[in-house]
Amino acid sequence: MDRIYIFDTTLRDGEQSPGASMTIQQKYELALQLAKLKADVIETGFPISSPHQFEACKYISQHVNGIAIAALARSVIKDIDAAYMSIKDAEHPRIHTFIATSPIHMKYKLQKEPDEVIEMAVDAVKYARNKTGEVEFSPEDGTRSDLDFLCRIVEKVIDAGANIINIPDTVGYAIPEEFGAFINKIMNRVPNIDKSIVSVHCHNDLGLAVANSIAAVQNGARQVEVTLNGIGERAGNAALEEFVMTLNVRKDTLPFETNIDTTQIYNSSRLLSNIIGFPIPRNKPIIGDNAFSHESGIHQDGVIKRRETYEIMTPESVGRDSSQLVLGRHSGIHGFSKRLSELGLTLNEEEIKKSYEKFLELADRKKEVFDDDLYVLVNDQIRRQTATYVLEYFNIQSGNLSVPTATIKLRSADTVYEEAAVGDGPVDAIFNAVDRVTGTRTKLIEYNVQAVTPGRKALGEVSIIIQVNGKRFVGRGASTDILEASAKAYINAINRYKALVPKNGKE
């Protein structure tokens, strides 16, 4: 079996999905889970792009072990310096430098001649190799680049010291057979290609990112760049869970193996979804609610008689437990904290104690506490502690014949603010009152409410997306009262904006 290295870029390309920005603490939590999942490399960010990105890469490099840590840099000195400074403390640091090589990118974006691009790439790789033993080079928009030019630049950067050559399908334009042949030609035409590992990085604009990645490994690629749940720029990147499980399920025809602990897939995927607030679509392969449920009578009958009639993999193999019910009000704090850590929720002692108190309150109201309740409960708890604004109190007056009016009290550090506002409905009135306190002007892009778990006593979770100064922020809030959940979600989105955009507005 040939080993395929998994390079996870959830924290970099994934975070580029509109609305998926994460705080440093959230990136760190996810990085710990990616180490548990046994990804080979994680790309933690693009350090030159903002102080926040830099600090996140640095924090993860200093605190997450057992996994290689990469940071992205354009092929310019200041980017490489920032990338290096952010990852130098990692056990296995890697600088990932890129420059565009397609005619359209070179002419219009870079406004450089091809020879100048080669020179910049070579200089960047040499400079980076003087700093770290591992340097990855990506010719951006690789699949729309001229093959001869691509082979020329690849040969030169390998000579300059690049040990990993990553071919990106930046705009998700490739189709599998053609992409496989493209990789094959690079493998055969570049004379020193054996001195590097060939990697691919596929975007999903045509829904072909995983298929293209599979075609690439069939033609010699040995590293594949992926993200959890397939998040990433535009339509996203190749989904880790789909790529890895395709190799696992189709070993008969794909003689490749990864180091991924597939039983950690489901938890990793849910942790991400909870952190960024993007729900997992029900029909999503491997991780969606419906991925292992059989609706038609014929299918149910078949599965009861023999599971393999309609199941090509078991839910257990990806860490999905058929009995999701975990805890009740008699569960002790040890069982509670063990379950949290199994779910990838990393809390300190104080946070566990506080979350446990909330858990007991919830278990009293709602006999059955599911894993999904735990994610929401813990997120709610942690959010309160790191939040700029915390909801202390709200009151709503609303009816079909009156003007909806909201009064709210928010706390920020030691100061309590109180405001009232009217709105088109009770939710609008709450949002207007919050705006008065926080002084933020937002545009509401999306508002969703859903029950976290089954039953009439379920927690309701509101997830929203707001836009502030052209940038989107997700917020989530949970409560058995959906107006309270709405207030919490809106405040959470504003807190994210405050946390991710420093006062000088430079994020």
Shortest approach of ligand KIV to residue 284 CB, angstroms? Answer: 22
Q: Binds 17, which of Zn ion, ligand KIV, none (CB < 5 to 8 A, cut-off by type)?
A: none
Q: How far is the CB of 412 from Zn ion (least distance, A)?
A: 37
Closer residue to ligand KIV in complex, CB, 101/355 = 101
Rounded-to-integer distance, Cα 48 and Cα 180, Å: 33
In degrees, rounded to 5, the angle at the alpha carbon of residue 226 between the alpha carbons of residues 224 and 228 is 150
d(CA 322, CA 292): 10
- Binding partner of 229, given ligand KIV, Zn ion, none, CB within 5-8 angstroms per partner class: none
Nearer to ligand KIV, 201 or 270 (CB): 201
Task: Give the residue carrying structure tokens 């104690």.
Answer: 353
Positions that interact with ligand KIV (CB under 6 A): 13, 98, 138, 140, 166, 168, 170, 201, 203
Between 227 and 438, CB nearer to ligand KIV: 227
Please state the closest distance from residue 46 (CB atom) to ligand KIV, in A: 8
CB of 4 to ligand KIV, least distance (A): 18
Stretch that binds Zn ion, among 13-21, 74-82, 156-164, 454-462 (CB under 5 A): 13-21
Cβ closest to Zn ion, residue 225 vs residue 373: 225
Q: Quick one: three-class SS letters along 157-202?
A: HHHHCCCEEEEEECCCCCCHHHHHHHHHHHHHHCCCHHHCEEEEEE
Identify which of residues 223 and 495 has a Cβ nearer to ligand KIV in the complex.
223
- Residue 267 contact, options Zn ion, ligand KIV, none, Cβ 5-8 Å cut-off depending on partner type: none
Write out 339-399 in H/E/C secondary structure. HHHHCCCCCCHHHHHHHHHHHHHHHHHCCCEEHHHHHHHHHHHHHHHHCCCEEEEEEEECC
Q: How many residues bind Zn ion (CB under 5 A)?
A: 1
Tell me the closest approach of the beta carbon of residue 225 to Zn ion, in angstroms.
Answer: 8
Contacts of 216 (CB under 8 A, 6+ apart): 167, 179, 180, 183, 198, 200, 202, 224
Query: Distance (Å, rounded) from C-alpha 286 to C-alpha 182?
Result: 29
Which residue in the set 6, 12, 13, 80 belongs to the binding site for Zn ion (CB under 5 A)? Answer: 13
Instruction: Tell me the CA distances in angstroms from 334 to 92, 155, 347, 382, one per residue in order.
Output: 34, 56, 13, 19
Q: How far is the CB of 137 from Zn ion (least distance, A)?
A: 14
Question: Which residue number has the CB closest to Zn ion?
Answer: 13
Q: Which of residues 89-108 bind Zn ion (CB under 5 A)?
A: none
> Using N-to-C axis directions, what is the helix angle for 482-500 and 371-386, rounded to 10°?
50
**Site residues, Zn ion (CB under 5 A):** 13
